[in-house]
Amino acid sequence: MAMPDQAKRRPSIRSTASFMLSAWHNPEARIFNLDLLMVLVAASLPWSTSVFSILMPIWLIGLLVTIEPRGFVRFMSRPVCWLPVALFALALLGTLWSSAPWSERLHAANPVAKLFVLPFLLYHFERSRRGAWTFVSFLISCVLMMAVSFLVLFEPNLTLKEGEFTGAAYESTRGIFVKNYIDQSQEFTLCAVALVYPIFGFFREGKLRQALLLCAIVLALLANMAFVTVSRTALVTMPLMLAVFAVLHLRWRTSFAIFSGLLILVLLAWSVSPSLRTATERFSSDYQTYKQSNESTSIGLRIEFWTKSLRFFSEAPLFGHGTGSTEGLFKRAKTGPEGQVHAEVIRNPHNQTLAFAIQWGAVGVVILYAMWFAHLALFRGEGLMAWIGLLVVVQNMLTSLFNSHLVDFVPGWMYVLGVGIAGGSVLGERARRRHDP
């Protein structure tokens, strides 16, 4: 009985391979190949910036062959497309009035360039119906990363991170295989909260196996953040992201019951998890240390950065000081001995709004928030893709209060890929409904 089944499968594999190889003369095959390549791009993001940086340009070059110029120009007239490009254009123009060395100007403009990719993702996935493949590959990649993180917790020598395996240095690298605990927490938080939507959908449809499988994945991700490592930004933003889901998709009684249960689980996890207690207690201890001795703590540094950033913004409120000017401004404002917060010099004020305000003034801030709100408006409505896109925007806006996550590598690309793929899928679904009600 096995041989006929195998015989049936082999032509399918051959036909798929033949279809992929027909891309030279078959437009549908080119779209299919681009979808498969984007699956690899998304899967590589949690693991390797180098692999991602190689695959992403290859995808863009392949996409250029499939673009219909007139249709693309019309597509670019939408605010969700041209606002990200406007931010990148402003970053390039800002190099003209900056007083920073040209190397620093170009260095500061480079992270904003990823926003230029967003319209191309929207354009492609409006045509494709395989956006879900990309999100599934990212989820699987994060689940594998979570499993490896547990292994590294018990066997620290497996990590590829350099650092001590004891003391304070270990606290920032424990359970980290590659990259850092902030990026890992961002990825795990997004996956855990995004899965809430399909879990409720499966329960309503009576598909208990699928719902329980996704519940197990969510609990494993949360366990990793509770017992291995978690960023304080994730601790603050996850409840707010869950609140967004409750407001949009649940009745108030259901929301109250669920949040009561979650509160009990959080308190239980906090009581048994030293890692979680350390992360939460550090909020108060860092602030007290900063106030009493001006030592460089996480919270103290942010307060210092934000205070100085507001002063820099007031000096050039309309167009800012120019691209790459942040480090030079902090150098000039440096006071006090080394090791204290007043002496810290940085390129990033750890707040996305202030980072844009320093360099490009009110113009940059207005375009930034116009883009965020345009993307929020894009994801109004029901559906998994709308929920994922909305969640990506909300997460980026919330975490950008404490970091510059729109221009940081992993969180920034999570935004570009999430909005581009989910947004294109939503636009494509709406277009198909208009043509075929």
Q: What is the identity of the amino acid at 176? A: I
CB-based burial, 136-164: b 16+ in 10 Å, e otherwise: ebbbebbbebbebbeebbeebeebeeeee
Residue 172: pLDDT band with limits 50, 70, 90: low
pTM of the model: 0.87
Asked whether the predicted pLDDT for residue 165 surpasses 50, the reply is no
Closest CA to 359 of 390, 397, 404, 296: 404
In one letter, which amino acid is 203? Answer: F
Token pair 């603050």: residue? 236
Q: What is the Cα–Cα distance from 406 to 121, expressed in whole angstroms?
A: 17
> Do 222 and 189 meet the contact criterion of CB atoms below 8 Å apart?
no
Alpha carbon separation from 334 to 9, 228, 310, 323, 337 (Å, rounded): 68, 37, 15, 20, 9
Q: Comparing C-alpha atoms, which of 125, 99, 185, 155 is closest to residue 359?
A: 99
Q: DSSP letters of 266-322?
A: HHHHHHH-HHHHHHHHHHHHHHHHHHHH-B--HHHHHHHHHHHHHHHHHHSTTT-S-
Confidence at residue 238, expressed as pLDDT on a 0 to 100 scale: 85
d(CA 125, CA 424): 4
Count of C-beta atoms within a 10 Å radius of residue 89: 15
Supply the pLDDT for residue 231. Answer: 79
> Under DSSP, is residue 340 helix (H, G, I), strand (E, B) or coil?
strand
pLDDT digits (tens, 9 = 90+) for 377-398: 999 888 999 999 999 999 999 9
CA pair distance 190, 185, nearest whole angstrom: 8
* β-bridge partners, 295: 340
Distance CA 205, CA 279 (A): 39
User: Cβ of 304: how many Cβ atoms within 10 Å?
Assistant: 22
Of 114-118, 156-160, 161-165, 307-311, give the lowest mean pLDDT range: 161-165
pLDDT of res. 166: 47
Question: What is the predicted pLDDT for the residue at 22?
Answer: 62
Three-state SS for 225-250 is HHHCCCCHHHHHHHHHHHHHHHHHHC
CA separation for the pair 35, 39 (Å, rounded): 6
Q: What average pLDDT does the chain have?
A: 83
